[in-house]
Structure 1
């Protein structure tokens, strides 16, 4: 199974995606097993292969089995079950590897088997319930119901950041970035502006919020495109009642692409169809921001895009589109 041309199977703004269903076989007492169901966006997958020969890597991070060559790229192989705390058979016979390609990185994740591809609407992708969410430590960003099964959509960005902290956006500190203007006058200007941040990962939301807040901006957060659209509609009603403008409430939107209920592409499309938000700057921040996706985002009306993990560009783009600087 291969995503040969690395194109997103999601047409511009249709609010649809394709996910690969894969399984981990949890070992139970008395030699029994229980199938655990998971899903990953096809857009993040380069290919699914049999377990390749690996080479041990010195001082490797926990749950890193070794490294292998994937199309001439040195690729770490991660024990996904081990990271998740799911006990499985240790033998690699009959197992598979999902090779991912996002955040400009290639990684392999060991799984027990792969099932099929499902084409679904983001509207059918549910956020984890409030009782299951564990804030920044949660590794499940969404749940899909399929054929009486619950497929857990994992936060692969968080998994990679946890295994290799050197590649994490957490390393970035805007206060140490000399390219960002942090004089009192500029911070005061930003204090009068508000940015809406939309991302289904509490881990990513927190980092974007910290970066923008540290530079002076006020931040409103939303956990998916549906919540963002609802909040912006509420703002529109206030604007009409008070005969004011959207700039008095929110000055820019930063949104992910992959989100439950409403994805970022569809959110941009809906906002640009509404005259109230025609001129609101929108920047898309996504791990799957390929050139193809960037072109789609700009066609739909986004002002710009950033590929995760380049969070260091965030404040500069907000300054550019809010202040014209």
Structure 2
């Protein structure tokens, strides 16, 4: 599987994706070995290669093997097993590297073996909370059952943010962003508005929630598109019972693309097919927001898109669609 991978991502609203299955071979205390199964969205992968020659990088973060050149881009090589706390053999000649390209960053992740590509429906991708209580620090965003194995879909954004904290969205603080209107009049206006935040990464979801709530917005949080759709359909019933338009209960949605049960593209399609949410502001916030995927999102009815590192655009963009271009 060396070389470029497929570039198929979620087709417009079909609720499907492709994942690459890869393995880490855990060495147990008794000398035996156990294969651990992991997955990553094909759309995040540039290529899979043999381990390249690396150069040590001064004051490198823990679990960073070194740096190498990937298509003339200086690329950090991360010991994924080390970061995950999985003890594996140190023989680099038998390992591989998954080179990722998302969030406008290129990174390499050391793995033991590559398996195959699975094309699956997001309906078959389960939330990890069905297996364990995923806390803020959990690095598994979804689980896929295949051939009797549980394939763990990892939160690569969180891993990269942990290893390269200078590049993390955690550094953004809306309260010191002079481009955001934080005068009391505007904060009070936002206090009357509620935004739903939908992301399968607890790490990313918390960052978005903190950013919007610090600016004054009320937040409803959902861990995947399925939960978001259920809650939004429930709000329609509440609005009917109270004799109100649903716009009195919810003012906008910020949603990721990749999520268990129902992806963001399919969520947008379902909402736009509903009279209650035909015109509600929807912004898609994703690490995979290429020009092609932006075009798909807009065609399905999203108002706008943001690439995940650009969280600084979030409040102003929500203001634009909730209040209009002039506040």
- TM-score tier by shorter-chain length is over 0.9
Deviation (angstroms), 1:132: 1.6
Deviation (angstroms), 1:254: 0.1
Report the more deviating stretch, 240-249 or 298-307. Answer: 240-249
Maintained 8 Å contact 2:21/2:39: yes
How many Å separate the matches in 2 of 1:30 and 1:135?
31
- TM-score, normalisation: structure 2: 0.97
Maintained 8 Å contact 2:97/2:110: yes
How many Å separate the matches in 1 of 2:77 and 2:159?
12
Q: 1:2 to 1:308 in 2, by over 3 A?
A: farther
How many Å separate the matches in 2 of 1:46 and 1:79?
18
Deviation (angstroms), 1:85: 0.1
Match of 1:16? 16
Maintained 8 Å contact 2:4/2:48: no
Maintained 8 Å contact 2:62/2:163: yes
Q: 1:190 to 1:6 in 2, by over 3 A?
A: farther
Root mean square deviation of aligned Cα = 1.3
SS in 2 for 1:93: helix
How many Å separate the matches in 1 of 2:299 and 2:172?
30
1:223-256 superposed Cα distances (whole Å, 9 cap, x missing partner): 0000000000001112222332121101000000
Structure 1 segments unaligned to the other structure (5+ residues) = none
Match of 1:80? 80
Structure 1 residue runs of 4+, over 6 Å off?
none
Is the aligned partner of 1:194 residue 2:194? Answer: yes
Q: 1:22 to 1:4 in 2, by over 3 A?
A: closer
How many Å separate the matches in 2 of 1:163 and 1:117?
27
How many Å separate the matches in 1 of 2:269 and 2:263?
10
Q: 1:254 to 1:2 in 2, by over 3 A?
A: farther
Maintained 8 Å contact 1:3/1:45: no
Match of 1:140? 140
Is the aligned partner of 1:51 residue 2:40? Answer: no
Q: 1:138 to 1:245 in 2, by over 3 A?
A: same
1:163-206 superposed Cα distances (whole Å, 9 cap, x missing partner): 01001110000000000000000000000000000000111111
Matches within 5 A, 1:22-171: 22-129=22-129, 132-171=132-171
Q: 1:40 to 1:92 in 2, by over 3 A?
A: same
Structure 2 segments unaligned to the other structure (5+ residues) = none
Q: How many residues align?
A: 325
Maintained 8 Å contact 1:21/1:151: yes
Is the aligned partner of 1:206 residue 2:206? Answer: yes
